[in-house]
Amino acid sequence: MITFNRSQVIGAEFPDGETVRFNGIQEDHIYGMEIQMDIRIYDGEILKIDGNMKRYTNFVCPSAIPVLQKAVGMSLKNDGWDKQVMREIGRKGCEHFAEIIIECGRCLRQALMSRDLTAALSEDPGLDQGQYLKNWEETHP
Amino acid sequence: MTLRFLRNKLVEVEPCSDGTLDVFWRLTDDLLKVDARLKIQPPELEITEAEVRMDRFPPSVCQSAPELFEDIEGVTIGPGLRKIVHGLFSGPGGCSILADAVLESANAVILHFTRPAIQAGESVTDDEEKLANTRAMLSANPRLIRSCVAFQDDSPIMQGIEL
């Protein structure tokens, strides 16, 4: 029998050419949290963030929701961005919110690659996807 | 608006009949699929087996991930794990996905042990008793102090607590 299970689901929308909107959900046997945030693509800056706590362990936990606003202005491309998120949002707010934000940050590059590959495949369905992604990595250091 | 990218991650802890714990960690998204398995030996929580498989389009720095991942065998889940894991898998040219797999699996093992106490606490209905139980838990686990908003100095949980 499984005694602990955690799922994270991160989705990315591109509402315009300059922004990516992440929707992140974390569900496990103990906690249930959600984050939605808008990121400016070129510098990775968090422009807007909202969060929701569905399940938590004590009555103080929901006071971590306003702490999320400290994330506005942080860049998900700076060196040490994940440590900054854990320090400012995790330790001063909620570790599980920070975990979702960090997973969204890890998805930023992948989401852009996926968006660009989809566009390239619409132009050339026979495209060598592996080669395209290798070139993408080399041209987007 | 339709999603242009979707990632699913899952970590599961399953106790085995021989007393060990199997941890299954999976990441799947539009471009990447990773399956990792760790076997954990209580009570030291030593990682005795580690295997990983990557499919779709793994980053080029992860080409030798299956061999590299075995380096975590023999390491114990506990203080210093983060530093060891980053030393093995992160940094320039490293495969940080392996570090994520180990650290998130280790966290799941800890929560596997934590869950029964949290569930037991749910049967308490008196608010003062709940608060006293939380304060007792903090006294027994001082590393949690200032780890989140609930355990900061100005939290009502921290008021009057003797550490």
CA distances from B163 to A10, B124, B130, B145, B158 (A): 39, 23, 18, 10, 10
The mean per-residue pLDDT over the stretch A3-17 comes to 97
- φ, ψ of residue A18 in degrees (nearest 5): -110, -5
ipTM for this prediction? 0.95
Q: Fill in the amino acid letter for A104.
A: C
CA distance A3 to A17: 43
Q: Do B156 and A29 touch (CB under 8 A)?
A: no
Q: Is B57 on the interface with A (CB under 8 A)?
A: yes
Cβ atoms of residues A39 and A46 within 8 Å: yes
Q: Is A85 on the interface with B (CB under 8 A)?
A: no
Please name the member of A9, A13, A64 whose beta carbon is closest to the beta carbon of B4: A13
Residue ranges of domains in chain A, CATH in brackets: 7-106 (3.30.390), 109-141 (no CATH)
Q: Which residues of A touch B5 (CB under 8 A)?
A: 11-12, 107, 110-111, 114-115
Cβ atoms of residues B57 and A131 within 8 Å: no
pLDDT averaged per 10 residues in sequence order, chain B, 163 residues:
96 98 98 98 97 94 91 96 93 87 97 93 87 87 90 88 69
Closest CA to B28 of B1, B58, B71: B58
| pTM exceeds 0.90, yes or no | yes
- Selected for mutation to probe chain A from B21, B31, B111, B149 (highest A CB count within 10 Å) is B149
How many CB atoms sit inside 10 A of residue A104's CB?
28
Please name the member of A11, A58, A103 whose beta carbon is closest to the beta carbon of B150: A58
Query: pLDDT tens for residues A54-92?
Result: 999 999 999 999 999 999 999 999 999 999 999 999 999
